[in-house]
């Protein structure tokens, strides 16, 4: 019997509990649950881990509650530059886009790059054109803009002017979405998508589209999607680091992810989080901030979501036993 498993995150930059109404928290958790249902529906029908993580991330890209796709962060010129990547653990194939401005669902473009081009990463206008040529939905840049992100940009500009960037909340700074999955054939996959951080320099690229940093998957080991200050995820090659600790040191997935997120990254004083699944279907979701939007479905179909310390059991989906 091969287990299946799915985990997602919606960013570690969640707001303080009083920053949103209870109705808004419920809406965000509902979209997390919808993301998990979409991915799980693929897996229980015998679908691939790649299809599952894409389906899960698309739901979050279409939600205004997360910093990816619709509702993405704005750069210093009040423009959107979107990043995403996907990795196939069965053969280490990967694809990504960065600084895209018109692709409704960047994660779909990342997969298209992986499967329909000889490149691993396409950037800017070239990424937009590639997506359009391959039949993906193209939108006007203002499609992605929400009032919440405009307010966050104004707050970050005020912090920059006052020299108080360090005092900014995690929700004002950044956010990311991602998914990891293990399918019934034993294959692993990971996908990550983001708008970057609010008031970021024009042209800045973080870890989300970088294979080995924000996204990594290797069959027999684990799949990882990260969230946090991308510059440090790149420097520490976080996704690959977690996988290497599992593969070469024999650490459990939980021990490896906790070490990297709660010790290595925490030592730099940055907010960080990740979701990961290993080849046995074990799931972990460590973070070092006040909270992280996250959720998972275990092989018995039990769906859970969370934003802060409390974990909510939502429902039992179709059993994942193969």
2 is a catalytic site residue: no
Whole-number Å distance between alpha carbons of 174 and 151: 13
- Left if phi > 0, otherwise alpha if psi is -120 to 50, otherwise beta: which for 137? beta
Q: Which of 123, 145, 176, 215 is catalytic?
A: 176
Query: Contact, 113 vs 121, CB < 8 A?
Result: yes
Strand pairing partners for 297?
6, 303
Burial class (CB in 10 A: 0-12, 13-18, 19+), 135: exposed
Whole-number Å distance between alpha carbons of 78 and 98: 17
Phi, psi angles (nearest 5°) of residue 256: -65, -45
Query: Contact, 311 vs 53, CB < 8 A?
Result: no
3-state helix, strand, coil in the chain (%, to 5): 40, 25, 35
The set of catalytic residues is: 176
């Amino acid at each position: 019997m091969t287990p299946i498993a799915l985990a997602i995150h919606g960013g570690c930059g969640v707001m303080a509990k009083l920053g949103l109404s209870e109705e808004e928290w419920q809406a965000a958790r509902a979209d997390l649950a919808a993301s998990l249902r979409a991915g799980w529906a693929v897996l229980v029908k015998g679908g691939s881990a790649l299809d599952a993580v894409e389906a899960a991330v698309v739901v979050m890209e279409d939600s205004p509650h997360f910093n990816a796709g619709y509702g993405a962060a704005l750069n210093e010129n009040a423009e959107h530059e979107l990043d995403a990547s996907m990795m196939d653990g069965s053969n280490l194939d990967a694809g990504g886009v960065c600084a895209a401005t018109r692709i409704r669902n960047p994660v779909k473009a990342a997969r298209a790059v992986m499967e329909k081009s000889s490149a691993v990463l396409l950037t800017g206008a070239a990424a937009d054109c590639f997506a359009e040529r391959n039949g993906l939905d193209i939108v006007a840049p203002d499609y992605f803009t929400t009032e919440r992100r405009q307010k966050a940009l104004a707050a970050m500009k005020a912090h920059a002017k006052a020299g108080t960037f360090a005092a900014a909340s995690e929700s004002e700074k950044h956010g990311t979405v991602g998914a990891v999955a293990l399918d019934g054939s034993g294959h692993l996959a990971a996908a990550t998508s983001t708008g970057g951080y609010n008031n970021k320099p024009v042209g800045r690229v973080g870890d989300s589209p970088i294979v080995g940093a924000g996204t990594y998957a290797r069959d027999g080991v684990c799949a990882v999607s990260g969230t946090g200050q991308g510059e440090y995820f790149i420097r520490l090659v976080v996704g690959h680091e977690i996988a290497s600790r599992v593969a070469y040191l024999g650490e459990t997935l939980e021990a490896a992810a906790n070490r990297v997120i709660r010790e290595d990254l925490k030592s730099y004083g940055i907010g960080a989080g990740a979701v990961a699944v290993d080849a046995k279907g074990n799931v972990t979701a460590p973070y070092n901030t006040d909270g992280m939007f996250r959720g998972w479905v275990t092989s018995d179909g039990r769906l859970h979501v969370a934003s802060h310390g409390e974990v909510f059991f939502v429902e039992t989906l179709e059993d994942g036993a193969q």
